[in-house]
Amino acid sequence: MPLMDTLAELGTVSALLAGISLSAAAGLRVFLPVLALGLAGRFGLLELGEEFAWLASEPVLLVVAVAAVLEVGAYYIPLIDNLLDILATPAAIGGGTVIVASLLPEMHGLLQWGSAALLGGGAAGIVQGTTVAARSLSTSSTGGIGNPLLATSETGGSLVAILLALVMPLVFGIIVILTLAWLLTRRLRRPNPASPGSDQRN
């Protein structure tokens, strides 16, 4: 039936946009969105692919919950926060990839993971890159004094993004995609200091 097909397609798009939004939130805190995804799958808010049902299992949820608490707390420890940025970048990209892959419809494995890496990993990577730059600026300009405030805003932003991704995935997903496009455009337009003529005066 056309109506049922339309509703099914809308549900698929909604889930995909929720996944992209959760992936973007993983660029702020890696484990909070993964925990939210597992809980959403467990309570029927999102339908996980069969091969990702383990994300909603009690042992995994417990481990991820502990990891999320440790991650949030570690960003308040001087010097550790900057070290975490190095480790969190590949972790965020991996987490974003898994999040989107778990919500994609059934497809060929290579296509599924390639799409997930592009959409989920890309979203997480763009946001994570922005937070790394912000923390580096905060560290250099305030001697690290301003880093706890930045850490609090990142955690809060991740929680808000998670909530909106689950409550209003279509609208918030579009907002996230537009924001990611803007951040990526800004990064691409940023002049390269090593490029010829970059030090020329106007």
161 lies in a domain? yes
Site of tokens 């890159």: 129
Domain contains 164: yes
Residue 6 has pLDDT above 70, yes or no: no
* Per-residue model confidence (pLDDT) at position 161: 97
- On whether residue 197 sits in a domain, the answer given is no
Q: For 14-61, write each residue's pLDDT tens digit.
A: 999 999 999 999 999 999 999 999 999 999 999 999 999 999 999 999
Residue 2 in domain: no
pLDDT tens-digit map of 93-143:
999 999 999 999 888 778 999 999 999 999 999 999 999 999 999 999 998
Task: Confirm whether 193 is domain-assigned.
Answer: no
In a domain, 186, yes or no: no
Count how many domains the chain has: 1
Structural domain span for residue 42:
8-176
Task: Evaluate whether residue 34 is within a structural domain.
Answer: yes
Tell me if 14 sits within 8 A of 166, measured CB to CB. no
- Burial state string for 146-180 with b = 16 or more CB within 10 A and e = fewer than 16: ebeebbeebbebbbebbebbbeebeebbeebbeeb
- On whether residue 151 sits in a domain, the answer given is yes
Is the Cβ–Cβ distance between 23 and 165 less than 8 Å? no
Q: Lowest-pLDDT range, 74-83, 123-132, 154-163?
A: 74-83
